[in-house]
């Protein structure tokens, strides 16, 4: 069997055989931009240039034979300064204003992952598959997938994630994901913020394949109980595009050693250099009658913070407070007749 090499995580050289190449493509370990080499080749070359047939329609055909000659020796050194991108490189467009959709554009062989139920529409040649985990560690085996499922159970999310892949042979195809409630979709790239972003546990919408969707724990007891985000947050790692959703208007703040106090429900995401804690909201009178709750979130350190103007919990509380069927009190805002108008309508 012909030997092939490809660059895996952290530019690690991984050896495989020719017959295993189609399976590597199916599992997402081998993408069009992955550098590969086999005896007889010159320098490392993107897989799409030497193995174009592997990234056409599914099921992929058998790989071509290895180049003749040069069957001795190992692969050449990785090009100096080369940084292999693990995640698929995707293009996108955000459509809408307050009820937004993000439309992802995929080349053949590219994949985007999303929470179950988040897809809005997709074009022909886009195939989707529900899997355990985010696919960031395709060679981890069953135990790795089981560990990822356990983490997702702690966050309250679905046990599975949906993988959308362009299985066509040419051209670009689009798949779109919709925000679950009024607000904004924020595009991010964790590698631009130290490699990871911490966000509230229901903020993640979708991301390029290769992004690790994990969990982060609030280590401080008080912050977990009163911080508004609970004990468990989501941790997003990788070098590809990720998209998170938040309510209302989004404000991005840069902290350079200062301190920012915010309402406990307004924090959407932060970089790893931010310290997250809580403080009492003033004196006893302010805590009881100030309307800002008993505690405020305190953010300090160096990094970036994303805030939302309308947390979903605040929106839900206002709806329930004005829904008579749920025990709330209607204010009659829809008609100048108020309750009389509803009586005439038979409500």
What residues in the chain have per-residue pLDDT under 50?
58-61, 68-72, 81-82, 221-230, 287, 335-337, 340-341, 343-344
* pLDDT tens string 179-218: 888 899 999 999 888 888 999 888 999 999 989 888 886 6
* pLDDT tens string 267-276: 999 998 888 8
Alpha-carbon distance of 26 to 58, in angstroms, equals 9
Please check whether residue 65 lies inside any domain of the structure: no
Domain of 17, CATH number, reads 3.30.1490
Residue carrying structure tokens 């206002």: 318
Domain of 190, CATH number, reads 3.60.160.10
34 and 6 in contact (C-beta within 8 Å)?
yes
Are residue 23 and residue 148 in the same domain, yes or no? Answer: no
Please check whether residue 260 lies inside any domain of the structure: yes
CA 127, 131, 132 angle in degrees (round to 5)? 165
Q: How many CA atoms lie within 13 A of 258 on its CB side?
A: 8
Q: Please report the pLDDT score of residue 165 as a whole number.
A: 94
Please check whether residue 104 lies inside any domain of the structure: yes
Phi-psi region at 40: left, alpha or beta (left = phi > 0; alpha = psi -120 to 50)? left
Please check whether residue 341 lies inside any domain of the structure: no
**How would DSSP label each residue in 154-177?**
HHT--SEEEEEEE-SSSS-EEEEE
Are residue 222 and residue 281 in the same domain, yes or no? Answer: yes
Q: Please report the pLDDT score of residue 143 as a whole number.
A: 62
Residue of 202, 272, 276 whose CA lies nearest to 237: 272
Number of domains in the chain: 2
Residue of 214, 105, 208, 104 whose CA lies nearest to 163: 208
Are residue 44 and residue 97 in the same domain, yes or no? Answer: no
Q: Please report the pLDDT score of residue 119 as a whole number.
A: 94
Residue of 28, 40, 35 whose CA lies nearest to 6: 35
Domain containing residue 271:
91-312
Cα Dmax for the chain: 91
Are residue 124 and residue 34 in the same domain, yes or no? Answer: no
Query: Is 65 strand, coil or helix?
Result: coil
Please check whether residue 331 lies inside any domain of the structure: no
Q: Which residues contact 172 (CB under 8 A, 6 or more apart)?
A: 91, 105, 106, 107, 166
Are residue 44 and residue 134 in the same domain, yes or no? Answer: no
Are residue 177 and residue 105 in the same domain, yes or no? Answer: yes
Predicted structure pTM score = 0.65
Q: Please report the pLDDT score of residue 56 as a whole number.
A: 66
Q: Please report the pLDDT score of residue 81 as a whole number.
A: 47
Please check whether residue 342 lies inside any domain of the structure: no
Please check whether residue 157 lies inside any domain of the structure: yes
């Amino acid at each position: 069997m012909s030997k092939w090499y490809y660059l895996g995580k952290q530019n690690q050289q991984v050896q495989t055989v020719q017959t295993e190449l189609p399976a590597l493509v199916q599992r997402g370990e081998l993408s069009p931009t992955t550098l590969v080499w086999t005896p007889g080749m010159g320098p490392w070359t993107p897989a799409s240039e030497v193995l174009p047939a592997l990234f056409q329609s599914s099921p992929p055909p058998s790989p071509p034979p290895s180049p003749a000659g040069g069957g001795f020796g190992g692969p050449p050194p990785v090009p100096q300064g080369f940084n292999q991108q693990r995640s698929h490189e995707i293009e996108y467009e955000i459509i809408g204003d307050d009820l937004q959709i993000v439309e992802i554009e995929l080349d053949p062989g590219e994949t985007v992952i999303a929470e179950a139920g988040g897809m809005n529409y997709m074009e022909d040649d886009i195939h989707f598959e529900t899997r355990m985990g985010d696919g960031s560690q395709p060679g981890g085996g069953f135990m790795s997938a089981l560990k990822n499922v356990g983490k997702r159970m702690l966050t309250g999310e679905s046990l599975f994630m949906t993988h959308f892949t362009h299985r066509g042979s040419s051209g670009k195809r689009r798949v779109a994901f919709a925000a679950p409630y009024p607000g904004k979709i924020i595009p991010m790239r964790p590698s631009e913020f130290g490699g990871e972003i911490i966000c509230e546990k229901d903020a993640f919408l979708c991301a390029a394949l290769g992004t690790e969707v994990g969990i982060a724990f609030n280590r401080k007891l008080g912050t977990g109980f009163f911080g508004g985000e609970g004990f468990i947050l989501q941790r997003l790692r990788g070098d590809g595009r990720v998209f998170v959703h938040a309510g209302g208007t989004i404000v991005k703040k840069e902290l350079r050693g200062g301190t920012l106090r915010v309402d406990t429900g307004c924090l959407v995401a932060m970089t790893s250099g931010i310290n997250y804690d809580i403080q009492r909201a003033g004196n006893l009178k302010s805590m009881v009658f100030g309307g800002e709750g008993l505690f405020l979130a305190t953010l300090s350190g160096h990094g970036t913070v994303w805030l939302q103007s309308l947390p979903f919990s605040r929106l839900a509380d206002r709806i329930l407070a004005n829904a008579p069927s749920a025990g709330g009190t209607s204010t009659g805002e829809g008609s100048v007749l108020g309750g009389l108008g509803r009586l005439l309508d038979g409500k």
